[in-house]
Amino acid sequence: MRRILITLLLLFAPYAIYGQLLDTKARFGSPYSSIAFGEPADLLSPHTIGMGLSGVSVYDAYTTNNANPALWGVSAYSQGSIAFGMKNFDATDGLANSTYNQFAFDQFQLVLPVVRSRLGLSVGFHPVTRSSYELTELGSIQTEPNRDPIEFFNRISGTGGINKIEMGLGYRFSTSFAVGYATSIYISSLNREHNTNFASASFSSITYDENISGYAFGHRFGFFGRQDGLLRSADDLAFGASLTLPVNIEVERGLTSFRDIGGQLRRVDLTPESSINSGNFKLPLEFNLGLTYNPSRLLRFSVEYSEQLWGEAEYSLNPSQEQYLVNRSKIGIGTQFLPYLRDGNIGFLSNFKYSAGVTYDTGNLKFDNNNIETLMFHTGLGILSQSTASSVDLSFQFGFRGTQNQNLVQETIWGFKLSLNLAEIMFIQPRFQ
């Protein structure tokens, strides 16, 4: 019986999990996150989330910057941030519709100035990829010649992804030039629950869990430069860049399930010795470029371009999935209005920070010559504390991902993010002791 069970597992698992999206329907989460490592999680700095940009070229004295390690060295104050997000997805393939919500922890970061405005230390936790989906599939299998095929219903639920814990330093050489470096521990934790039911009493239902785990070290570099007085005395132009090197994660896969042993339910290992139980995840090279022009201290305009070489990524546990991975390009533009920096008496509406932007993403997946593209519109509101340098940043997103061509899934996305930012004015002597 055990041999039959293992045979069925090996027979149905690759077909159910790794089948093309044309033959599956999403009941929860995004079907695109079921491919390989999951969908990429964009790294956005708290003060630029409302523009939809990473903030690689945007400096803010009171808010952490996740995108560019060089900006950690420019900071004069200790800074901390934590962010959460929620998205609503309306998905359709032209034949059926589904709606689902996704709540996720986005990031945590702490920046400490070791030497004021010269050398800064950062510690953070960020997602790299996310996997959240539930796929269902109805099919049949021919077990014996001259007999009717046996129908089966298969369900796969996936969660997890790849996260990283990062620590690094930024150093400012002068008022117009800074560099940074960060090292990270990448942690892979992908979990999939499989359930198969047959329309025949001769076959018992199959339920088991698949767990893929591993870790590796990664490296990231950053550069920041700024030129004051470019067109007028009060303006400045900033350039930022970051480079993330490829990461190879050695992973182990295990199959487990609960079985009745001696009248007690116990978790047993079902991993076949003959299958591929270990492998390598190769995350791609990534670079991010940004240009920010500040015509005054009240207004800024930013443009960014990033490239992730997903076409060179590796997923050795199922190499056939690599054919869907392609290089991903993303471009975005955004603006911010900072009326609270005005001198003198200002009105209520001038106590906030306003942001807006638009981004276009070619996606890292391609099916039947169809790129899974994303177009998003962003807006944000920053609420400043009246007594401290802390703030709360709210942002909203609306956009579209995917296509209905070839029965693929198109998603309408509504999103909301909340970032809490704490900044302590250190190294400044108080006027009153």
Task: List C-alpha distances in Å: 75 to 37, 80, 379.
Answer: 34, 12, 26
| Average pLDDT score over residue span 389-412 | 88
Contact 301, 293 (CB under 8 A): yes
In this predicted structure, the answer to whether residue 11 has a pLDDT above a threshold of 50 is no
Predicted confidence (pLDDT) at residue 63 exceeds the cutoff of 50: yes
Q: Please tell me the distance from the alpha carbon of residue 359 to that of residue 238, in angstroms, as a whole number.
A: 20
Closest CA to 24 of 132, 131, 100, 138: 138
Backbone phi, then psi, for 364, in 5-degree steps? -105, 10
- Once rounded to an integer, what is the mean pLDDT over residues 79-102? 83
What is residue 414's predicted lDDT score, i.e. its pLDDT? Answer: 92
pLDDT the model gives residue 128:
94
- Kindly provide the residue ranges of all beta strands, DSSP E only, lying in 142-176, ordered along the sequence: 150-174
Q: What does the pLDDT average to over 218-241?
A: 92
Question: How many C-alpha atoms does 53 have within 13 Å on its Cβ side?
Answer: 32
Among residues 300, 286, 309, the alpha carbon closest in space to that of 57 is found at 300
Q: How many domains does the chain have?
A: 1
DSSP 13-43: HHHHHHS-GGG-EEEEE-GGGGSTT-EE---
**What is the reported pLDDT for 273?**
67
Residue bearing the bigger pLDDT, 383 or 233: 383
User: Would 429 be classed as within a structural domain?
Assistant: no
Taking only Cα atoms into account, the Rg of the chain, rounded to an integer number of angstroms, comes to 25
> Which helix (H) or strand (E) covers residue 8, if one does?
helix 2-18
Burial degree of 312 (CB within 10 A; 0-12, 13-18, 19+): middle
- Residue 30, CA distances (Å) to 13, 33, 38, 198 in order: 19, 6, 10, 26
Over the chain, what is the mean pLDDT? Answer: 84
d(CA 314, CA 37): 10
Q: Which residues pair with 223 in a beta bridge?
A: 179, 241
Q: Which domain holds residue 77?
A: 2-424
Provide the 8-state DSSP code for 188. Answer: E
Total count of residues recorded for the chain: 433
- Tokens read off for 51: 């523009």
Calpha distance 338→346 (Å, rounded)? 12
Residue 72, in any domain of the structure: yes
> Higher-confidence residue: 49 or 92?
49
Report the b/e string of 222-252 with b at 16+ CB within 10 A.
bbbbbeeeeeeeebbbbebbbebeebebebe
Q: What is the pLDDT of residue 343?
A: 66
Bridge partners, residue 258, by sequence: 267
Q: Which two tokens stand for residue 370?
A: 């169809």
At residue 59, what are phi and psi to the nearest 5 degrees?
-105, 135
CA-CA distances (angstroms) from residue 161 to 49, 59, 125, 130, 411? 22, 30, 13, 4, 21
Write down the pLDDT at residue 299: 93
Question: Of the candidates 128, 104, 255, which has an alpha carbon nearest to the alpha carbon of residue 187?
Answer: 128
Half-sphere exposure of 299 (CA within 13 A, CB side): 4
Q: Specify the CATH number for the domain of residue 360.
A: 2.40.160.60
What does the pLDDT read at residue 345? 56
Predicted pLDDT at 28 = 56
Residue 76 lies in a domain: yes
The tens digit of pLDDT for each residue in 312-369 reads: 999 988 888 899 999 999 999 999 998 877 766 566 677 789 999 999 999 999 998 8
Query: What does the pLDDT read at residue 274?
Result: 59
Do the domain assignments include residue 21?
yes
Per-residue pLDDT of 109-162, as tens digits, reads 999 999 988 999 999 999 999 988 888 878 777 777 777 788 888 888 888 999
| Rounded Cα–Cα distance for residues 405 and 22 (Å) | 10
Per-residue confidence (pLDDT) for residue 344, from 0 to 100: 60
- Over the stretch 297-308, which tens digit does the pLDDT of each residue have? 889 999 999 999
Considering the chain, what percentage of its residues have pLDDT values greater than 90?
Answer: 48
53 φ, ψ (degrees, to nearest 5): -110, 155
* Dist CA 65 CA 122 (whole Å): 9
In this structure, are residues 413 and 376 in contact, taking their beta carbons and an 8 Å threshold?
yes
Determine, yes or no, domain membership for 431.
no
Average pLDDT on 226-233 reads 84
Tell me how far apart the alpha carbons of residues 389 and 424 are, in angstroms, rounded to a whole number: 7
DSSP secondary structure string, 126-149?
A: EEEEE--EEEEEEEEE--STTSPP
- Domain annotation covers residue 430: no
Mean pLDDT of 101-110: 86
CA atoms 308, 310, 315, 321: torsion sign: positive
Residues 246-287: pLDDT tens digits? 999 999 988 888 776 777 777 777 776 656 688 899 999 999
Per-residue pLDDT tens over the stretch 16-54:
443 334 344 444 567 888 888 889 998 899 999 999 999
Structure tokens at 98: 């589904």
d(CA 90, CA 36) in angstroms, rounded, equals 23
